[in-house]
Amino acid sequence: MNTTTPPAMLTIGRGGYFARRSAFDWIFALLVVAGAGYAFQRYGSHMDGYELGILAGATPLVIGLGWFWGPLRGLAIAVALASFLAIGLYSRTTDGFGADLEAGQQLFLLKYLFASQTAILWMCTLFFMSTLFYWIGFFKQRDSQATAEKIGSLLAWGAVFMALTGTMVRWYESHQIGADIGHIPVSNLYEVFVLFAWMTALFYLYFEANYLQRAASTASGQAANAGSGEGSVRSLGAFVMLIVSASVGFLLWYTVAREAQEIQPLVPALQSWWMKVHVPANFVGYGTFALAAMVAWAYLLKTAATRALVTAFIVLPVGLLAVLGAFAAFAPLQAETVGSLGSAMRLIGGVGAFFALTLALRRPIVAKLPALELLDDVMYRAIAVGFAFFTIATVLGALWAAEAWGGYWSWDPKETWALIVWLNYAAWLHMRLMKGLRGTVAAWWALVGLVVTTFAFLGVNMFLSGLHSYGQL
């Protein structure tokens, strides 16, 4: 029997980028454009040229992000609806200037859900619960582990939703207090800790979804775990959400100790449109560097000998305490210095407790962690993203400094430590891309990098004064 082979079919790609957009993609884009148009119509007269440019640039950026990662579309729509609901409720009670915030916050939905401080407290609660469920997964069988981690992931999404809603409503609330007080809420430690928490969690959720999708798209369903017998990528949520929970714990302490939730007018140096782009870009870097460090610790738990880990557990906190002791010996012991030392020691105590917990539970933790290749890849991608945004933030900061202080660089302590952070991760990436840096050395480096980044973020505010002394502890 004579058979002929049918001619090969010519496959023409997947179509153009816009041709691949779904109906929901286009509906989302129209909603974003409509929202931008409403913002321009309502608030355009109060914006200068730079702010109008930011609004114009943010519109395609939000659309692009929603098209790039589908879950952001639902998140953006939900946050917008909740924010408009809160604004509508506030508009029911007015005073001589605008919304009467005190009276409005007696309404049920505002008092218990959507007023900015309430929403942020919900964020804190949900992040704590998310961390708890991720950690419960380490001590469950495979099926129960997957359920606990999925609940942890959903709670993290809920926390991000409440954080963004609280941020948007706080932005509105600031404009209702008085003339020239309203500002985007990224101006002090309270506001940027909220930013750090939701941004770090959102980047983790992206990596989680991305690697789970890779696993599902392979024939065996095991690619994301690099083979057999490895744990789920979701187990990393226990590590990343732990640092997010630490940040919201600090936020709660700071709120009680300083009444930091109160909206304050901006100091003159911060009354600039540069703040709207410089600070968020900076915190993409801080958040992803923190994420990479927590993944690095998971990597070390899975590879390093227990003796080496115990040594690190002792050396790192003791070394940090020695540095603080030297500082106390040579610095004037003013009340602010003593308070900062106490805050730093509590922070180090928390780091030590985390090390002790993970070392004590190393065996069940290691059994549930994903493959080393995945951990290494997440660590690299997080640092690469963070470095790109931190570079942008540094350039934007220099331009802002030139406008505010007349020079691009002044070797202010914050600027100096930002440069140290940049050089640290530039060297890490150079060694990886040029010299093939991998494994435990890269993980230790990423972990130490978090210490450097934390000092640049908080330590400078605690112990050093300069042009950036806006968030004293």
Residue type, 425: Y
For residue 397, which of 283, 263, 291 has the smallest C-alpha distance? 283
pLDDT in tens, 427-447: 999 999 999 999 889 999 999
d(CA 431, CA 182): 45
CB 235 within 8 A of CB 134: yes
For residue 376, which of 464, 437, 307 has the smallest C-alpha distance? 437
- What integer pLDDT is reported at residue 153 of this predicted model? 97
pLDDT in tens, 238-297: 999 999 998 999 899 888 888 888 998 888 778 888 888 999 999 999 999 999 999 999
What is the C-alpha end-to-end distance of the chain, expressed in Å?
Answer: 87
- What integer pLDDT is reported at residue 230 of this predicted model? 64
d(CA 58, CA 312): 44
The model's pTM is 0.89
- What integer pLDDT is reported at residue 26 of this predicted model? 95
Residue type, 102: E
Q: At what angle do helices 335-360 and 237-258 cross, to 10 degrees?
A: 160
Backbone angles phi, psi at 219, to 5 degrees: -60, -40
Contacts of 350 (CB under 8 A, 6+ apart): 246, 249
d(CA 292, CA 295): 5
- What integer pLDDT is reported at residue 459 of this predicted model? 76
CB 177 within 8 A of CB 263: yes
Segments in the chain below pLDDT 50: 1, 5, 7-13, 219, 221-229, 335
Residue with tokens 């991000």: 160
- What integer pLDDT is reported at residue 8 of this predicted model? 46
Contacts of 410 (CB under 8 A, 6+ apart): 401, 467
For residue 296, which of 418, 390, 428, 199 has the smallest C-alpha distance? 428
